[in-house]
Copies of this chain bind each other. A is one copy, B any other.
Amino acid sequence: MAKILTSKNENYSQWYNDLVIKADLAENSSVRGCMVIKPYGYAIWEKMQSVLDKMFKDTGHSNAYFPLFIPKSFLSREADHVEGFAKECAVVTHYRLKNSPDGRGIVVDETAKLEEELVIRPTSETIIWNTYKNWIQSYRDLPLLINQWANVVRWEMRTRLFLRTAEFLWQEGHTAHATKEEAIEETLKMLDVYSVFARDWMAMPVIKGTKTETERFAGAVDTYSIEALMQDGKALQSGTSHFLGQNFAKAFDVKFLDKQGKLEYVWATSWGVSTRLMGALVMAHSDDSGLVLPPKLAPLQVVIIPIYKKREELEVIATRAGDIRQQLSAAGITVKFDDRDTYKPGWKFNEYELKGVPVRLALGPRDIENGTVEVVRRDTLEKRSFPAGNIVETVKNLLDEIQDNIYRKAFDFREKNTTRANSYQEFRDLIENNPGFVLAHWDGTSETEEKITADTRATIRCIPLDGEKEKGKCMVTGKPSAQRVVFAKAY
């Protein structure tokens, strides 16, 4: 077989790019930093959306839609927020084009200048809280639990398909609460939703934790994230949930009458995951043959490929394949019979391996004779023959097994690549030579954090919420530390 992809070990970054493009997930567009999400990639994103959307609705949220544009002045209402987002904004200054006076193409019509520039939303806290002001008067209007599926734009200088693009798709939840406790509870509840989604659907273990001040969302009191470990030992922040305190309520003057008739500022949260999850999914499980998709998110779960020499053989195989397809389909499994005669079986095998289809069935004349089906599972590429009579149960079990197996593989990989450093020297060695999560003690100051990052390019991914809280001393300053935090180089 011709090698389609750069090998993962040879050049991980190139492997990733090759894979995203060759598996037809996405490609770069003619617009700097913006991607085209191709049908196969978008089908995976749609599956993610539909699962997440149901999880949001089951936890009481409704969807709504707010404007793409944010008046420039809104952005500067919250002091930290503007610092975080102003530098990477796409700015709309005009609302008309006209024919060029020299007759060549079109130019901006300078007479159609906006009085106030509009920014393409990099995130929607400001426009939404400006709207909530009119929706919230009394405690009866709370909690307000809203989510939005939208495109956002952050003018990143260095972009990578899915991982960091100027425009990306995401969901952003924006909730309003009567009390601080309730808002914190919501923040953590949605962090949990993300971590369950990552584990049960993406087959990707994550660490839940608090971000340090340096890495906090601009405008948040506390930012929480889920952090996943990719196969090259780098961390990927895969979702964030922010407790915003009363910062945006104060910036946009959103008050409510509480049960005692007292006027109070509203408490807020926001939380989001984006098409970045597509990058995480690709990097968490795939190999040198292509994508490995968790069966629960695979747009196509099973493909049936006929192996034949003569036309008559195909007819018999097609009948059997049609029967199998119908049975699998009735069991809720997405399945395709690929009987194209323009491609050879070997080509098709490679193609579906590249695309990460979890289960491949092959049917040849001998299978028809013996009443068997050749079954190949994508995760291990292991090949076995099974009785055709039982195929639905076989495939169902196999899909479950693959889902479990790739989770376990990812989990074991993370365990193997999570180390503990007890001195700064040990830390630097580990970061340099053992890419992965390094658990170490830190004194809680931004100064120490910055020094470590400057020395090693590793960052604090999060202060984990779960697990043991072992006290110790900062590996750099020796000052007391309440628990180990998670360091890694990161995307």
A34 lies within 8 A of chain B by Cβ: yes
Q: Known A65-B42, A68-B153, A73-B105; judge A88-B93 contact (CB<8 A).
A: no
Q: Which residues of B contact A180 (CB under 8 A)?
A: none
Residue of B nearest to A90 (CB): B92
Q: How far is the CA of A71 from the CA of B106 in the complex (A)?
A: 11
A89 lies within 8 A of chain B by Cβ: yes
Among B29, B66, B118, contact of A36 (Cβ-Cβ < 8 Å): B66
Residue of B nearest to A130 (CB): B30
Q: How far is the CA of A69 from the CA of B36 in the complex (A)?
A: 11
Q: Known A69-B31, A127-B29; judge A90-B95 contact (CB<8 A).
A: yes
A37 lies within 8 A of chain B by Cβ: yes
- B interface footprint on A20-63 (CB within 8 Å = 1, 0 otherwise): 00000001011100111111001101100000000000000011
Q: How far is the CA of A65 from the CA of B34 in the complex (A)?
A: 11
Q: Which residues of B contact A440 (CB under 8 A)?
A: none
**A96→B92 contact, CB < 8 A:** no
**A86→B92 contact, CB < 8 A:** no
Q: How far is the CA of A71 from the CA of B127 in the complex (A)?
A: 27
Q: Known A31-B127, A140-B342, A151-B68; judge A91-B93 contact (CB<8 A).
A: yes
**B86→A98 contact, CB < 8 A:** yes
A331 lies within 8 A of chain B by Cβ: no
Among B67, B93, B99, contact of A108 (Cβ-Cβ < 8 Å): B93
Taking CB atoms and an 8 Å cut-off, the chain A residues in 120-178 that contact chain B are 120, 127, 130-131, 134, 140, 146, 150-151, 153, 155, 167, 169
Q: Known A93-B108, A130-B30, A167-B69; judge A63-B75 contact (CB<8 A).
A: no
Q: Which residues of B contact A31 (CB under 8 A)?
A: 67, 69-71, 118, 127
**A65→B169 contact, CB < 8 A:** yes
Residue of B nearest to A63 (CB): B42
A475 lies within 8 A of chain B by Cβ: no
A76 lies within 8 A of chain B by Cβ: yes
Q: Which residues of B contact A67 (CB under 8 A)?
A: 29, 31, 34-36, 167
Q: Which residues of B contact A140 (CB under 8 A)?
A: 342
Residue of B nearest to A73 (CB): B105
A173 → B minimal CB distance (Å): 13
A58 → B minimal CB distance (Å): 15
Q: Known A87-B96, A93-B91, A118-B90; judge A38-B63 contact (CB<8 A).
A: no
**B82→A106 contact, CB < 8 A:** yes
A72 lies within 8 A of chain B by Cβ: yes
**B108→A117 contact, CB < 8 A:** yes
Residue of B nearest to A74 (CB): B30
A100 → B minimal CB distance (Å): 9
Residue of B nearest to A131 (CB): B36
- B interface footprint on A422-451 (CB within 8 Å = 1, 0 otherwise): 000000000000000000000000000000
Q: Known A67-B31, A69-B167, A106-B72; judge A119-B97 contact (CB<8 A).
A: yes
Q: How far is the CA of A66 from the CA of B31 in the complex (A)?
A: 10
Q: Which residues of B contact A130 (CB under 8 A)?
A: 30
A330 lies within 8 A of chain B by Cβ: no
Q: Known A73-B105, A95-B90, A97-B91; judge A36-B65 contact (CB<8 A).
A: yes
A64 lies within 8 A of chain B by Cβ: yes
Taking CB atoms and an 8 Å cut-off, the chain A residues in 342-374 that contact chain B are 342
Q: How far is the CA of A465 from the CA of B196 in the complex (A)?
A: 53
A83 → B minimal CB distance (Å): 9
Q: How far is the CA of A64 from the CA of B27 in the complex (A)?
A: 12
Q: Which residues of B contact A108 (CB under 8 A)?
A: 72, 91, 93, 117
Q: Which residues of B contact A153 (CB under 8 A)?
A: 68
A342 → B minimal CB distance (Å): 7
A409 lies within 8 A of chain B by Cβ: no
A94 lies within 8 A of chain B by Cβ: yes
Q: How far is the CA of A127 from the CA of B117 in the complex (A)?
A: 25
**A95→B91 contact, CB < 8 A:** yes
Residue of B nearest to A65 (CB): B37
A158 → B minimal CB distance (Å): 14
List 7 contacting pairs A-B, 8 Å CB cutoff, sorted by A: A27-B134, A31-B127, A34-B69, A37-B65, A73-B105, A93-B94, A140-B342
Spell out A's residues near B (CB within 8 Å).
27, 29-31, 34-39, 42-43, 45-46, 62-76, 82, 86-99, 105-106, 108, 117-120, 127, 130-131, 134, 140, 146, 150-151, 153, 155, 167, 169, 342
